[in-house]
Amino acid sequence: MSQANERIETLTKQVKESTLIADELNPKKSLEFYRQKSTICPKQVENTIYGYNSHYMKRVYEVIKNSPQIFRHPHLEEWSREVYRYMSFRQLVQFDKEKNMSYEDYKKDPHIATIMGTALYQWNASHCIKHGVHFYLYAKTIINLGTQKHEKYVQRSIDLSDVGSFSLTELGHGSNVRSILTTATYDTATNEFIINTPNDLALKWWIGATAQLANQTVVWAQLLLNGENHGVHAFLVPIRSLEDHQPMPGVVIGDCGSKVGLDGIDNGFLQFTNYRVPYDSLLDKFSQIEDGKFKTSIPSADRRFGLQLGSLSGGRIVISMHAGSNAMMALTIATRYACIRKQFGLPGQPENSIIEYPLVQYRLMSSLAKYAVQQVAALNLNQLWDHNQENVLDLKNNLINQLHAQSSVMKAICSWQAKDIIQISREILGGHGYSSYNRIGMLYRDNDINITWEGDNNVLLQQTSKFLLDAARTLMKGKEIKYPTIKFLTVEPVEGQKWDAKEVAQFRNPENILRAMEWRVNLLLQRSGLKLQENLGSHPDPFAAWNGTQVFYLNSLALAYGEVYQAQEFISALNKIHHEQTKEFMLNLFELWGLNIIINDLGTFREGDFVESDTAKQMKDRVVELIKALKDEAIGFLDVVCPPDHILGSPFGAKDGDIYNKYLTYVRGAKNSYSRVDWWNEIHPKKQ
């Protein structure tokens, strides 16, 4: 038993019933009252939100439950950074031992790993990411870019004989990978590469699991041969000795220091000085050096670069799921709390649960709708990616372009929405949301990095908008678009068209919501194309013209397409739900989500005269109706999608509703909770 748990047990025995919350407040009964209102089918909700592999999440929950001494919540234990890092390592080893999943299982269905990773992330983001850096960045890169001679390193990673990291980002370069400064110069005399960090801006930076843990890393560097630069390539490089874990000669390893979140990950920096590695360090699936000459199966440097980094889209795609988990857990904590927390009421009457107030309903139910829609789309995108692993590096697979565009915009939307939802949830809890014990602060900090890593959101959106502009050019040439999600695009002017939905009954039809969102994409695409042409006429530099078209145009276009994609996926999921009350609930979520999007961007819809003023008023009235209806189903829905209490790790999110007692137990059991400070005499110094 941990020291914290021992303190809690002792104090719980001491305080007994006399100091616990009075029963007349009935927090358990308050939550149960709202739980009993739910009429949805849990199994259909689970299948819709988590898919066919959801049972693997329960396996992860059990592994964690069965080792409580190792799997402990850092925010409840108040760990130091060093303890947190060490415990994350122990958790990595323990989970790998107990997970009961082989590499062969993964190859049969890669989506199993994704869904288990989702459950791990719900438990603790640092542990999940440390796991992901090793298995999915380090090992997966060897699988994707290496050849048969590198297979032994894959096996060593699987059994944790090696712990690996992924060294791409530099102090001076993140999103612009092509311009990284680290070099790997081929020495024809010795058949070796000499890796160098030419200056401080070339330091490999923020490299996860590297400051303390990794003995191997995949280094991305400019391949130099006979004075010619052949572009960025990946090299498998040992950085620490297996004998004493000291850095290899020619390698300096340091710690990037304190961070805003993810304190369980030892982010480090790397510096290389004339560090020689054998030729076989090159992951040479696409490029080789033979007889002192560079050889490649992909002559186009652009194409080769894109394929080498193509597998990184998997990271963006899984972030959409992880960000959704952050949002969902914060929402669960806030919604359960809102059902229990009572404030104000009519004179002489009992106080109301705060979830009965429309402003609380609006914030929570609108957030719930955002989560549900983004989660369904994220799940389907992850399944699509996982089931097309063999095609990711296929030169002939043009659908990968659509997948990259989708992954970019979904990563942006999901991470930004999670940030907003967590903040809303923290505010719903009022002052209690500021307590670290309730995990919301940790969720906010751990989610924050999702906005900028694996590609800065605003940079990634440019990839999506370029995809849409390329599609418009295809249409203008009289050719057909081959990508399923953008078949609705047209070059025929859409300004002046009217929305068919004029009254509440028509808002109910998901196809009407989808049509409005598709219209907006077409409008923004046509306006963006015209603005880009205008800028090209006034800017001799295409790069400047492109950047000058981002604000109000291409950036908004990409986000609008992302919302269309989410709508398409959710409508498809709706059609698979056969339980009447569940379908009604999910339809309400979609309607609320869609109406909120139109209302929040009413300027665009009114500017194009697509939505009339009277229709806008009816939409707002309908939103108020929807949030009231959704309130009664919210707890039932969140009970299904939220992990059990030992994973959630939040006293105010406790499923049984006994939130105040659980909270007080942690506060009273905290180290030094009742202690006098050692420096008390400085408060009251003795007069001389």
The enclosing H or E element of 289 equals strand 287-290
φ/ψ (deg, to 5) at 389? -60, -35
CA distances from 302 to 191, 228, 258, 320 (A): 27, 16, 37, 27
How many Cβ atoms are within 10 Å of 213's Cβ, its own excluded?
23
At 17 the pLDDT is 37
Alpha carbon distance 26, 178 (integer Å): 60
* DSSP-H helix ranges across 210-357: 301-310, 313-340
Q: Please say if the pLDDT value at position 608 is more than 80.
A: no
How confident is the model over 477-495, as pLDDT tens digits?
999 998 999 999 999 999 9
Q: Please say if the pLDDT value at position 406 is more than 80.
A: yes
Which residues 6+ apart lie within 8 Å of 457 measured at CB? 411, 412, 415, 416, 451
Alpha carbon distance 304, 310 (integer Å): 10
Residue ranges of the annotated binding site are: 169, 208
Alpha carbon distance 87, 264 (integer Å): 8
Alpha carbon distance 200, 269 (integer Å): 10
Mean pLDDT of 78-83: 92
Looking at residue 247, the DSSP 8-state letter turns out to be B
Between these two residues, 508 and 8, which has the higher pLDDT value? 508
Alpha carbon distance 60, 153 (integer Å): 26
Alpha carbon distance 71, 87 (integer Å): 8
How many Cβ atoms are within 10 Å of 466's Cβ, its own excluded?
17
How many Cβ atoms are within 10 Å of 349's Cβ, its own excluded?
8
Q: For the purposes of burial, counting CB atoms within 10 Å of the CB of 579, is it exposed (0-12), middle (13-18) or buried (19 or more)?
A: middle
Residue ranges of the annotated binding site for FAD are: 169, 208
Q: What percent of the chain has pLDDT over 90?
A: 71
Name the pLDDT band for 305 (thresholds 50, 70, 90). confident
**Which residues are paired to 288 by β-bridges?**
295
Mean pLDDT of 418-436: 95
How confident is the model over 636-660, as pLDDT tens digits?
999 999 999 999 999 999 999 999 9
Decide if 454 is catalytic. yes
At 9 the pLDDT is 58
φ/ψ (deg, to 5) at 508? -70, -25
HEC sequence for 93-114: HHHHHHCCCCHHHHHHCCHHHH
Instruction: Judge whether 136 and 173 are in contact, CB under 8 Å.
Output: no
Instruction: Judge whether 235 and 219 are in contact, CB under 8 Å.
Output: yes
Alpha carbon distance 454, 320 (integer Å): 11
Residues 421, 423, 424, 428: what is their CA dihedral angle, to the nearest 10 degrees? 130
Name the pLDDT band for 37 (thresholds 50, 70, 90). very high
- Residue that the structure tokens 């110069």 belong to: 185
Chain-centre distance of CA 79, in angstroms? 24
Name the pLDDT band for 400 (thresholds 50, 70, 90). confident
**Single-letter residue type at 213:** L
Between these two residues, 281 and 390, which has the higher pLDDT value? 281
Between these two residues, 311 and 677, which has the higher pLDDT value? 677
Q: Which of 379, 266, 264 is nearest to 322 (CA)?
A: 379
- Domains of the chain and any CATH numbers: 162-300 (2.40.110.10), 313-641 (1.20.140.10)
The mean pLDDT value of the chain amounts to: 90
Instruction: Judge whether 41 and 579 are in contact, CB under 8 Å.
Output: yes
Q: Please say if the pLDDT value at position 109 is more than 70.
A: yes
How confident is the model over 243-280, as pLDDT tens digits?
999 999 999 999 999 999 999 999 999 999 999 999 99
Alpha carbon distance 639, 73 (integer Å): 21
Instruction: Give the number of residues written for the chain.
Output: 688
Q: Please say if the pLDDT value at position 15 is more than 70.
A: no
Q: 3-class DSSP state for residue 233?
A: strand
Q: Please say if the pLDDT value at position 617 is more than 50.
A: yes
At 564 the pLDDT is 98
Between these two residues, 545 and 125, which has the higher pLDDT value? 125
Residues 269, 273, 277, 283: what is their CA dihedral angle, to the nearest 10 degrees? 50
At 35 the pLDDT is 94
How confident is the model over 138-192, as pLDDT tens digits?
998 998 899 999 999 998 998 899 999 999 999 998 778 889 999 999 999 999 9
pTM of the entire predicted model:
0.90
How confident is the model over 551-582, as pLDDT tens digits?
888 999 999 999 999 999 999 999 999 999 99
Q: Which of 357, 361, 321 is nearest to 117 (CA)?
A: 321
At 104 the pLDDT is 81
Chain-centre distance of CA 533, in angstroms? 35
Q: Which of 210, 127, 198, 224 is nearest to 167 (CA)?
A: 210
**Single-letter residue type at 138:** Y
Mean pLDDT of 491-513: 91
Task: Please identify which of the residues 454, 518, 563, 633 carries the catalytic annotation.
Answer: 454
Strand order from edge to edge, sheet including 251-255: 204-207, 268-272, 251-255
Instruction: Judge whether 340 and 31 are in contact, CB under 8 Å.
Output: yes
How confident is the model over 339-368, as pLDDT tens digits?
999 888 788 888 888 999 999 999 999 999
How confident is the model over 318-338, as pLDDT tens digits?
999 999 999 999 999 999 999
Query: What percent of the residues of the chain are helix, what percent strand, and what percent coil, each to the nearest 5?
Result: 60, 10, 30
Q: Please say if the pLDDT value at position 209 is more than 80.
A: yes
Mean pLDDT of 64-80: 92
Chain-centre distance of CA 560, in angstroms? 19
Q: What is the CA radius of gyration of the chain?
A: 27
Beta strands in 204-250 (DSSP E): 204-207, 216-225, 228-238
